[in-house]
Structures are given as structure tokens and as C-alpha cells.
Structure 1
Amino acid sequence: MSTAPSSAATTSADGSRRLSTRERILEAATELFYAHGIRAVSADKIIERAGITKVTFYRHFRAKDDLVVTYLESQAARERGALDAVRESADGDAEALRSFANLIGTASCQPGFRGCAFINAAAEYSDPDSAVRKVVADHRAWYRETFATMLGRIGVIDTEDAADELLMLRDGAMVAGYLGEASHVGRALAAAIFAVATTHGAELTR
């Protein structure tokens, strides 16, 4: 019986957290994949950035696509955690949706922003049955479900259609933030979310 390599981090003598080898590979891949595109980044480039050998790389990831899946799962966890944190700190779901729009607007203004990692990945993997596209589909399904729950709590009647519209707005905002005037994204997205919610029955004040 074989066991998977440990991904646990260790603690150095001064108490600082040291990344495990698996985490170092993932960190290197995350930076390179997002900045340059998945197909453009070879395993050799990741190995060089992480400062490891090929043997070490393939001990942790059998193939590059396995690393791509892990990269996207990690990104999904970060996005879900960010929205969960917004919901926990907001005074209700209406405020949480506005805060979510502002969060995307803020992200769009950060140096190195290249839009949505999941849209980018889907554009590079055309096979809808691939493991990469499955991660993308699962994450988008999570967004729809979460949006539907939030919209239902603020009085929206047709939550499924409204959630689909919010996901499209989110996608468009991410693209606009990358290609257009990022400073306007948060405000425009918040206004669009407000319009969708009220169109579908919610009674909100700006």
C-alpha cells in the first residue's frame, strides 16, 4: 500500500511557518499559471521556480494536469472563504452582496490582476469532461447555489434565474476589471446586482 506525500507545513526554529514541498510547488504553479496561462507554463518552469528536482515534482503530482486541478481547487477554496467571510461580517445578505461587489472591484485594481482563474482555465481546456473543467463546473455550481440562497433571503422569488444572472454579472465584472477601467467595476457591479434583485421581487434600498 502506498501513501500520498504529506502536504503539512513545518515550523522553523524561530517559529515561522515553512512551506512543505507540495505547498511550494503549488505556490509556484499558482503564480505562473495565473500570470502566464496554464498551457504556456511547463512542468520544467514550475520545477525551476519551486527549486526542486523532477523526481520530487512527480512524487507529489503524477502529471501537470493533476497540479492544475489542485491549483483550481485551492483557488476555489480561497474564493469561497472570501465570500463566507463577507457574509459573516455583513449585516444581512443585501449588504453582503454589495460587499461582494466591492471585493471584486478591489481585486480588479490590484497589480497583476488577470480576471477569473476559472474562466481562464476553461478557455484553455475545451473538453467539458476533463478533470479541469469539472473543477470549474463545480465551483460555478457553488456560486449559483450560494447566490440563490442569498437572494432568497432578501426577498427574490425566482432565485435560480436571478442567481444565473448574478453569476453572469460576476463573470463580466471580472473580464471588465482585467480589460477595462478597474476602478469602476465594484460600483457598477453593485448597481447591477441591485437591479437584478429588485427585478426579481426584492425590496431594497440603495
Structure 2
Amino acid sequence: MTVDSPPPAVQRLPGRPRADQTTPGARARVLTTADRLFYDEGIRVVGVDRLIAEASVTKATFYKHFGAKDTLVLEYLGIRHDRAVTEMEALVASTGGGRAAVLAFVDGTVAQLQSPRFRGSAFANAAAEFSDPTHPVRAAVSEHQEWLTDTLVDLFKDAGSPMPGDAADDFLLAFDGALVGAYCGDAIAASAALRRTAERLLAA
């Protein structure tokens, strides 16, 4: 992605601010609580009553802001998406894009993989919990993946790759595999494999 890339593909629900904007009061507490619980424990296992209790809001307040749990799930994924967009924009701006941006993205990913709180990809985890491919949650996941693919194509194109689309696809497969491998197995091995893939693709 470049700094003048189009807005995020995931559609924001009415009234939802970007991740870099503040959300005051009860709504913010619900979103913060959902972000923590959905990622740490899973979406299906966390019920509305628990969200309400841990966010210290009333049931009426919850339904006033979100209407249904699925709406909150979309908000959660949207905020995660916006956060990724903001971080990528900052990374591209600080590195100038291209090869340096790809390597910086790998560095940031490796740091996440080795974090004690790492629990895999929030988007892959959500997709695993919503089996219906037509569900809005699956659409949000797909749109995030499309954004990431397009971003990587731009980065590899800027890095001088002769086939940036193929490079982006290969890197994304390695990236997704590293997220799973680090969570389910050896984070150090997954990190090393991701670095090797990035270096190989950049050298092509």
C-alpha cells in the first residue's frame, strides 16, 4: 500500500469512527472489552451478558449502540482493519515503501508472533467461527484480505519485483502460515520461515 492508497475496503457501520479517533463513554468500553475478549477467547464463547458485565454498561445501553452481537463483531473486525491500515500507512511513510517496507512489515510481524498475548490472526479466527461464506463477518474478513493483498502488490512493485502479484500471493501465503505456525507450534521457526520467504521474493 502507498500513502495515497484508497480508503479501507471494510465498510464502516454508521457512526463508527476510525481506529485513530477516540470513542467516548460506554460505547468505547464495550468496544475495548470486545476487542480483548473476542481475540483472547473467541467470538462465539463470549456472550452478550459477559460483555455487558465486563464493560460496566447496561443491557439497554449495549443494544442502543450495537443492536445485536453480530454488529459488534463487525465493529471489532473493522477496528482491527483500521488499525492495520493506520500501521501500514505509518510504516510506508517511515520507510519510503518498497523493499524497506516489506522488511519492516516482516519485523513487525515477527514481534507479534513472539508476543505472549499472540493468538493468531483475528480475521482467520473469526472466519473459522462463521462457517457461512455469505455471512457479513466472512465478507469483512475477505475484504481485509483483499486490502492486504493489494497492499503487498504495491510494495513488491515498488521493490522492483518483475511479478509483484505472484510475489504478493507467495508472501501472503507465508504470512498466513506464519501466523498459524507461531500460534499452534514454534514461533521462532515460523518467524524464520517468513523472513526467508521475504528475502527470497525480494531477491527474485
- TM-score tier by shorter-chain length is 0.7 to 0.9
What is the alpha-carbon distance in structure 1 between the residues aligned to residue 151 and residue 30 of structure 2?
31
What is the alpha-carbon distance in structure 2 between the residues aligned to residue 152 and residue 18 of structure 1?
37
Q: 1:92 to 1:60 in 2, by over 3 A?
A: closer
Alignment partner, residue 63 of structure 1: 68
The alignment covers a number of residue pairs equal to 188
Matched residue type, 2:113: S
Structure 2 contact 182–191 (Cα < 8 Å) conserved: no
Q: 1:189 to 1:92 in 2, by over 3 A?
A: same
> Equivalences for 1:73-152 in 2 at 5 Å?
73-152=78-157
Structure 2 contact 98–157 (Cα < 8 Å) conserved: no
Q: Which moved more, 1:32-41 or 1:75-84?
A: 75-84
Cα displacement string for residues 157-183 of structure 1 (whole angstroms, at most 9, x for unaligned residues): 222222111111111111122122323
What is the alpha-carbon distance in structure 2 between the residues aligned to residue 41 and residue 18 of structure 1?
22
Alignment partner, residue 153 of structure 1: 158
What is the alpha-carbon distance in structure 1 between the residues aligned to residue 107 and residue 16 of structure 2?
37
What is the alpha-carbon distance in structure 2 between the residues aligned to residue 188 and residue 55 of structure 1?
49
Structure 1 residue runs without a partner (length 5+)? 8-16, 200-206
**Deviation at residue 6 of structure 1 after TM alignment:** 8.5
The answer to whether the aligner puts 1:181 opposite 2:186 as a matched pair is yes
What is the alpha-carbon distance in structure 1 between the residues aligned to residue 87 and residue 15 of structure 2?
28
Stretches (4+) displaced over 6 A: 4-7
Cα displacement string for residues 2-48 of structure 1 (whole angstroms, at most 9, x for unaligned residues): xx7787xxxxxxxxx88421111010111110111101111111001
Alignment partner, residue 6 of structure 2: none
Matched residue type, 2:194: L
Structure 2 residue runs without a partner (length 5+)? 1-13
Q: Which has the larger radius of gyration?
A: 1
Q: Which moved more, 1:175-184 or 1:40-49?
A: 175-184
Structure 1 contact 47–53 (Cα < 8 Å) conserved: yes
Q: Percent identity?
A: 37
What is the alpha-carbon distance in structure 2 between the residues aligned to residue 128 and residue 113 of structure 1?
26
Cα displacement string for residues 87-135 of structure 1 (whole angstroms, at most 9, x for unaligned residues): 1111541111111111111011212210100000000111111110111
Structure 1 contact 94–154 (Cα < 8 Å) conserved: yes
Cα displacement string for residues 55-113 of structure 1 (whole angstroms, at most 9, x for unaligned residues): 11000011100000000000011112222211111154111111111111101121221
Alignment partner, residue 191 of structure 1: 196
Structure 1 contact 148–159 (Cα < 8 Å) conserved: yes
What is the alpha-carbon distance in structure 2 between the residues aligned to residue 189 and residue 80 of structure 1?
21
Structure 1 contact 97–190 (Cα < 8 Å) conserved: no
Alignment TM-score, normalising by the size of structure 2:
0.85
Matched residue type, 2:67: R
What is the alpha-carbon distance in structure 2 between the residues aligned to residue 51 and residue 64 of structure 1?
16
